[in-house]
Chain A
């Protein structure tokens, strides 16, 4: 009798449509690491090679890497989560990190083991190829695409087709710098003005038929200096999606700055040239691209509908009571879909970290509750299960509780973003990652997730000015640095207010510097000020928006007025008065700034 794998009765789960992996890349990577260690491969070429394959360096050491696994359009399947769970225990720290760009990151991986992770990923069709480096990074799509009540159509198949077209495509292997695409569902749920190419599905009536297409935004992006993108034209028909993308990439490839690393994202090119000139260039280039393709190039957009099939009930628990906290969770973590009877439910983690056990549990929950049999990554280090029947919600909630995934506030201000900071990043000045966790714990303790006035605001934290934590588009944003009292140093954050990434996209405005250990009191004070001065239908976001635009008529009229109120909170005590002030979160030795060689431009 053969008995292998009798157990896997659950493996009838839905299979990924696209295999993104290539096993020979694992072999090749292993070989190249050996050559590099033997000194037969120079450090610069090796670094470029490593990044092209999705492995970053790690804080203060050349022996470890961070592997960034791309999840194109954010679609992930149960078996993939289980594989990543296993890989995290074998080669990383037993946890994985969900990023803001629909990647999963494994940290503190021994460089020599990276190829083993690649090999494991090939078993489930995933890749980290072109997740870092000067190429097209993971192509994102809104977690609500396909279910959003406000969308014109589902852009997911277009995001996948674009990812497929460009992955390993020779034309994007050596761009001047990294390049990002975001697809979304509607104005409200996207981040289309904060990337190189942002796309909102749009339709147009032509001779009585509805034509699909996109509103395309170009030249936005966050970073040391951030810009808001411009809309290329009223409507770009779907056939032109690939030509427009190619045209933009060709221009960037030709004219982008390859020398000055600090200014070589496409947004600088757009800014230097001026939008109108850039826009004309794109339109002209597109005509050339269209005319010079020897065969008609089109994206392979897979329009086969997803199978929506309610999972079979394994056990009937209809009699069981609904656990505490259900109403709170339902309100702050779920949204109604355009398909009636279904909700999408969001799982918020602490700064995107999830244990190996939780990854496995998540895979089972998808199989048991999602009628589409897969999950979708979000934009805020989170993940969503969609097509959950309304009737199943109480049971899903209690299952989430059991595995520690039922934290409320997923869709509110109480779920902050924190980049990796000093937990692993070479450029970090502060432990932004831990700070995000501390803020979340405090705000949830205060039940701020239930406060409707706060739900459309956000808190985002970067560990240095580079914006990986997207502080520039946060209602309250922070980036890390160091402060001094005499020769003593402490972790200090620059705070900005009023950033947003929706239809009214704008970057936050600098308010003041806040020491790490004063960030929580300062946030609470801002909320207090808002409550004292708000108009009846104000949210924190709308109030701050008026203040930073000098349109507010209450006692607090400008960002300077806020600053004045907060300043006393930020005055450093002496080391004798409060030694803890001089320690960053998660560190028991006195604070000092220390950075290694950054690889963002590599």
Chain B
């Protein structure tokens, strides 16, 4: 059986997913917008637009969502999106936080799936209601308060996954910049393990440290980074899920790169 915490498997490859779909042994979740989903999706997938989850992501409410999607404690779940795996990661992380251990990310995006001319349809599957128990995993969550005290420790690394210019403009003091694009390859949402390890090691992100990731607002880009860390065999990762938006609203201290007009180098 695949299990995040047991086997360390983070992504499901295309061929495995296709055979699991044939065996009806998997719950596939499509986190794109409803309109896109209705047009076509991976066969048997159910739709969970990220906005639906975010509108109320309290454990009780998410648990209900899981139940209506027919997910119980034993159901293997594979999540995909069309946003380089970031939205899928946020969903996967939330399930994990509630205590669902068997959730992985599809290794690629839906666009890529389509461009490979793999099967898709527009059928909406009938789902049998299931009951999932709640078994919160607070060890994978970082709150603002937690972050504030943890970042003073020298065995903690804080990673900012927004784009470089945003980081230069403003970031949480002490954070290091690892833009989400760095984590992917051209056709996979995450680099191969050895590649990822080398990249992280160069940046001093290694085994025994506690690593907290954050991004701009709702923990999507940093959710992907959370899984990137795990894929490289770094077990001790936490997601600051409310991210920089909350940090600024709380008027906590921020830092910027001074005395340089870097925005004027951008061609955007």
Q: Using a CB–CB distance below 8 Å, which chain A residues touch chain B? A: 1, 3-7, 30, 33-34, 58-61, 86, 89-95, 97, 107-108, 110, 112-113, 115-116, 349-350, 353-355, 358, 420-424, 431, 433-434, 437, 584-587, 594
Q: With A and B bound together, what is the CA distance between A107 and B262 in angstroms?
A: 9
Q: List 20 A-B contacts (CB under 8 A).
A: A3-B116, A5-B187, A34-B202, A93-B165, A95-B268, A108-B164, A110-B176, A113-B202, A355-B266, A355-B267, A420-B265, A422-B260, A423-B260, A423-B263, A423-B265, A431-B264, A433-B265, A584-B261, A585-B261, A586-B264
With A89-B181, A93-B265 as known contacts, state yes or no: A60 contacts B116, CB within 8 Å. Answer: no
User: What does the 1/0 interface line of B226-252 toward A look like (CB < 8 Å)?
Assistant: 000000000000000000000000000
Contact status A423-B262, CB under 8 Å: yes
* B199 lies within 8 A of chain A by Cβ: yes
Q: With A and B bound together, what is the CA distance between A354 and B267 in angstroms?
A: 5
Question: B residues 155-170 with Cβ under 8 Å of A?
Answer: 163-165, 168
Seed contacts A7-B115, A94-B164; 14 additional CB < 8 Å A-B pairs: A6-B117, A60-B258, A89-B179, A89-B181, A93-B165, A93-B262, A110-B176, A110-B203, A113-B182, A113-B199, A115-B202, A349-B267, A423-B265, A586-B264
A422 cross-chain contacts in B, Cβ below 8 A: 259-261
* Ranked 10 nearest A-B pairs via Cβ: A353-B267, A434-B264, A586-B261, A89-B181, A423-B265, A95-B267, A90-B182, A586-B264, A59-B260, A355-B267
Contact status A94-B202, CB under 8 Å: no
Contact status B268-A355, CB under 8 Å: yes
Of residues B118, B163, B264, which shows the largest number of chain A Cβ atoms within 10 Å of its Cβ? B264
B83 cross-chain contacts in A, Cβ below 8 A: none
Q: With A and B bound together, what is the CA distance between A107 and B181 in angstroms?
A: 16
Contact status B266-A94, CB under 8 Å: yes
Contact status B268-A94, CB under 8 Å: yes
B163 cross-chain contacts in A, Cβ below 8 A: 93-94
The majority secondary structure among interface residues of chain A is mixed
Q: With A and B bound together, what is the CA distance between A33 and B176 in angstroms?
A: 17
Q: With A and B bound together, what is the CA distance between A94 and B117 in angstroms?
A: 30
User: What does the 1/0 interface line of B186-210 toward A look like (CB < 8 Å)?
Assistant: 1100000000000100111000000
A113 cross-chain contacts in B, Cβ below 8 A: 182, 199, 202-203
Of residues B118, B204, B257, B260, which shows the largest number of chain A Cβ atoms within 10 Å of its Cβ? B260
Who on chain A is nearest to B177 by CB?
A110
CB distance from B263 to the nearest CB of A (A): 7
Query: B202 touches which one: A107, A116, A585, A586 (CB < 8 A)?
Result: A116
* B134 lies within 8 A of chain A by Cβ: no
Q: With A and B bound together, what is the CA distance between A419 and B185 in angstroms?
A: 32
Q: With A and B bound together, what is the CA distance between A473 and B264 in angstroms?
A: 24
Contact status A60-B260, CB under 8 Å: yes
Question: B residues 34-79 with Cβ under 8 Å of A?
Answer: none
B257 cross-chain contacts in A, Cβ below 8 A: 60-61
With A353-B265, A423-B265 as known contacts, state yes or no: A7 contacts B165, CB within 8 Å. Answer: no
Contact status B204-A93, CB under 8 Å: no
Q: With A and B bound together, what is the CA distance between A178 and B168 in angstroms?
A: 31
Q: With A and B bound together, what is the CA distance between A93 and B14 in angstroms?
A: 31
A5 cross-chain contacts in B, Cβ below 8 A: 187
With A93-B164, A95-B266, A95-B268 as known contacts, state yes or no: A587 contacts B261, CB within 8 Å. Answer: yes
Of residues B15, B261, B267, which shows the largest number of chain A Cβ atoms within 10 Å of its Cβ? B267
Who on chain A is nearest to B115 by CB?
A7
CB distance from B221 to the nearest CB of A (A): 13
A355 cross-chain contacts in B, Cβ below 8 A: 266-268
CB distance from A436 to the nearest CB of B (A): 10
Contact status A433-B264, CB under 8 Å: yes
B164 cross-chain contacts in A, Cβ below 8 A: 92-94, 108
B118 cross-chain contacts in A, Cβ below 8 A: 3
A420 cross-chain contacts in B, Cβ below 8 A: 265
B116 cross-chain contacts in A, Cβ below 8 A: 3, 6-7
B168 cross-chain contacts in A, Cβ below 8 A: 108
Contact status B199-A116, CB under 8 Å: yes
With A59-B259, A89-B179 as known contacts, state yes or no: A95 contacts B202, CB within 8 Å. Answer: no
Who on chain B is nearest to A58 by CB?
B260
B265 cross-chain contacts in A, Cβ below 8 A: 93, 95, 97, 107-108, 353, 420, 423-424, 433
CB distance from A348 to the nearest CB of B (A): 12
Who on chain A is nearest to B181 by CB?
A89
Contact status A424-B182, CB under 8 Å: no
Q: With A and B bound together, what is the CA distance between A255 and B33 in angstroms?
A: 69
Q: With A and B bound together, what is the CA distance between A4 and B165 in angstroms?
A: 33
B187 cross-chain contacts in A, Cβ below 8 A: 4-5, 7
CB distance from A79 to the nearest CB of B (A): 11
Contact status B266-A353, CB under 8 Å: yes
Of residues A34, A94, A350, which shows the largest number of chain B Cβ atoms within 10 Å of its Cβ? A94
CB distance from A539 to the nearest CB of B (A): 30
A116 cross-chain contacts in B, Cβ below 8 A: 199, 202
